[in-house]
Chains A and B, each alone.
Chain A
């Protein structure tokens, strides 16, 4: 019987010819991370040796650099652990980035890989045709043994068709995933492998595919996998540490459900507080003139070149509204440098945006821009749960970076296409 992408990856990594949905397997892992703080688990478990220190990538991204003495002391311990376990791939602040950007940027993911890692947005590497999913409590076990059990998930598929508007029209991957979450709910992918196919997938940039795979966890996905095409290989060319083993589903693979989504003339989407599935076209909220206090462009979801270029187009020659603060944070140090070289930081600085280094901070209320009581934020991040970005009495709207930029200028939630 034909296999889906997830079935093929799990079969290959568990040494089996074939696996079926519902079956339990033990599979070897191609790579994982040591994220700030998770070194404590190694001690807790009594781990003495890692399965392969070269397949472990260490970075601290959530509170980069430490805003408290406690966080700083965690880093003192982490650096010690990195040395103790012989991890060479340690991304100290200054050459760091958000974990999920580090992985592809340094070639730690190849098509066909099976990757697990702490932090829920590990589903992101699915955009590179890998099966990747988050773990937490099992981190020490994976670091020590390089393997983990899986229950093979059933697969569903989203076929994206029609005319992809794209960054030129300010409608991108973020809008598609917000629309999917709105139309199908946050349980549509619950414990399933979600595959994305259709001509629109191949028209999308890797950055946009990344956003969709990243927010795959928001629709419950175990894996969120894209096909491997020329764009995938071009993006990873010269970076991949291991040769690609692209995986595609067999023609007779079995899917629980296949959904079709036509994106022709799709508007940008926003998600109202307090759930990522509370999405509506931005056209539906414009009349409400929802005032914003803070605007944020960044995070693993939308902190890449496509995002900053789109926002810069809108901000060029304009200023952020006097009652709004716009905070801009790229997903990695390397992206920070590329924005500098392309003159994007000049545009943001002239517009009176606050440009920071790479960190997860503002996304989850860690540091660098928490919200106070009653404040409203429009954010290019992935979750808007109550209290996530600071006060439980604040409100977070999710949007694509162009919508964030447009709203930062107008002072209220605005359709970015007005700036076309």
Chain B
């Protein structure tokens, strides 16, 4: 799926992965991703995780996902977030998301164009971002369709691609 429509949650600049996946939580081996996701943003926005509904969209400012390489995209997947769109994004977060087939899009100017609670429509393939509440349209940076990250995302993530390559080798 590459088109997402949903209610917007707004976050600011420099939202780091320590906030998304607090160290004291994610380092408890055996904790399920759904359990760990309950602590997402608990330091800066306590209670947010409980309010998220399936298909909601995150719109953020600059440098989303900066900091540690911990696999924070899994938290948003577990919460049911449809896609994350940000003015700019840590390349680590970007890659981690693409590699698990979790939708992300870089769209400079998006955080200016949305308020929390607006309805957004995002096409990850074309990069088109629309604020359905205010009728503002923006152009994000879609991945070139023949690029490795686009191929990985289309395959459903790196694990699926790897297993496909493994199966093809055995045949």
Chain A residues with a Cβ under 8 A of chain B = 24, 26, 37, 44-46, 62-63, 68, 70-71, 73-74, 118-120, 134-138, 140-141, 144-145, 149, 151, 186-187, 190-191, 217-218, 220, 222, 275, 277, 364-366, 370, 383, 385-388, 390, 392
A145 to B158 alpha-carbon distance, docked (Å): 12
Cβ contact of B71, chosen from A71, A74, A137, A365, cutoff 8 A: A137
Chain B residues with a Cβ under 8 A of chain A = 14, 16, 18-19, 22-24, 27-30, 42-44, 62-63, 66-71, 73, 88, 90-92, 95-96, 99-100, 144, 147-149, 158-159, 162-163, 166
Chain A nearest CB from B111 CB (Å) reads: 14
A136 to B95 alpha-carbon distance, docked (Å): 9
Question: Most A CB atoms within 10 A — which of B27, B90, B148?
Answer: B27
Q: Do residues A364 and B68 form an inter-chain contact, with CB atoms below 8 A?
A: yes
Q: Do residues B67 and A222 form an inter-chain contact, with CB atoms below 8 A?
A: no
* CB nearest neighbor in B for A221: B91
Chain B nearest CB from A225 CB (Å) reads: 16
A386 to B43 alpha-carbon distance, docked (Å): 7
Cβ contact of B158, chosen from A68, A119, A138, cutoff 8 A: A138
Q: Do residues B44 and A386 form an inter-chain contact, with CB atoms below 8 A?
A: yes
Q: Do residues B63 and A45 form an inter-chain contact, with CB atoms below 8 A?
A: no
Chain B nearest CB from A299 CB (Å) reads: 13
Q: Do residues A63 and B27 form an inter-chain contact, with CB atoms below 8 A?
A: yes
A218 to B166 alpha-carbon distance, docked (Å): 36
A141 to B96 alpha-carbon distance, docked (Å): 13
Cβ contact of A138, chosen from B24, B44, B99, B163, cutoff 8 A: B99
For B23, the chain A residues whose CB sits under 8 A away are 364-366, 388
For A118, the chain B residues whose CB sits under 8 A away are 69
Chain B nearest CB from A168 CB (Å) reads: 33
* CB nearest neighbor in B for A364: B23
Known: A62-B27, A392-B43. A191 touches B91 (CB 8 A): yes
Q: Do residues A119 and B29 form an inter-chain contact, with CB atoms below 8 A?
A: no
Q: Do residues A45 and B162 form an inter-chain contact, with CB atoms below 8 A?
A: yes
Total A-B contacts with CB atoms under 8 angstroms apart: 112
Q: Do residues A37 and B29 form an inter-chain contact, with CB atoms below 8 A?
A: yes
Q: Do residues B28 and A70 form an inter-chain contact, with CB atoms below 8 A?
A: yes
* CB nearest neighbor in A for B147: A24
Q: Do residues A222 and B27 form an inter-chain contact, with CB atoms below 8 A?
A: no
Cβ contact of A385, chosen from B18, B28, B73, B166, cutoff 8 A: B18
* CB nearest neighbor in A for B92: A134
* CB nearest neighbor in A for B87: A187
Q: Which 6 A-B pairs have the closest CB atoms?
A: A149-B148, A137-B99, A392-B43, A70-B29, A387-B43, A136-B69
Q: Do residues A220 and B63 form an inter-chain contact, with CB atoms below 8 A?
A: yes
Q: Do residues B95 and A137 form an inter-chain contact, with CB atoms below 8 A?
A: yes
Known: A137-B71, A386-B43. A26 touches B159 (CB 8 A): no
For B91, the chain A residues whose CB sits under 8 A away are 190-191, 220, 222
Q: Do residues A44 and B18 form an inter-chain contact, with CB atoms below 8 A?
A: no
| 6 interchain pairs, CB-CB under 8 A | A37-B29, A46-B163, A62-B27, A137-B73, A370-B24, A386-B43
For A187, the chain B residues whose CB sits under 8 A away are 62-63, 88
Q: Do residues B43 and A136 form an inter-chain contact, with CB atoms below 8 A?
A: no
- Given A70-B28, A220-B63, A386-B43, output 10 extra A-B contacts at Cβ < 8 Å: A45-B163, A134-B69, A134-B92, A137-B71, A137-B95, A217-B92, A383-B68, A386-B44, A387-B22, A388-B18
Known: A70-B30, A222-B91, A365-B23. A136 touches B96 (CB 8 A): yes
Q: Do residues A24 and B14 form an inter-chain contact, with CB atoms below 8 A?
A: no
A366 to B26 alpha-carbon distance, docked (Å): 10
A316 to B22 alpha-carbon distance, docked (Å): 37
Chain A nearest CB from B27 CB (Å) reads: 6
Chain B nearest CB from A364 CB (Å) reads: 5
Known: A37-B29, A62-B27, A71-B27. A136 touches B70 (CB 8 A): yes
Q: Do residues B18 and A71 form an inter-chain contact, with CB atoms below 8 A?
A: no
A377 to B144 alpha-carbon distance, docked (Å): 46
A392 to B42 alpha-carbon distance, docked (Å): 9
Q: Do residues B24 and A383 form an inter-chain contact, with CB atoms below 8 A?
A: no
* CB nearest neighbor in A for B160: A45
For B30, the chain A residues whose CB sits under 8 A away are 70
Q: Do residues A141 and B24 form an inter-chain contact, with CB atoms below 8 A?
A: no
* CB nearest neighbor in A for B68: A120
Q: Do residues A144 and B28 form an inter-chain contact, with CB atoms below 8 A?
A: no
A386 to B41 alpha-carbon distance, docked (Å): 11
For B163, the chain A residues whose CB sits under 8 A away are 45-46
Q: Do residues B29 and A385 form an inter-chain contact, with CB atoms below 8 A?
A: no
A317 to B25 alpha-carbon distance, docked (Å): 41
Cβ contact of B149, chosen from A37, A73, A149, cutoff 8 A: A149
Known: A136-B92, A387-B43. A46 touches B166 (CB 8 A): yes
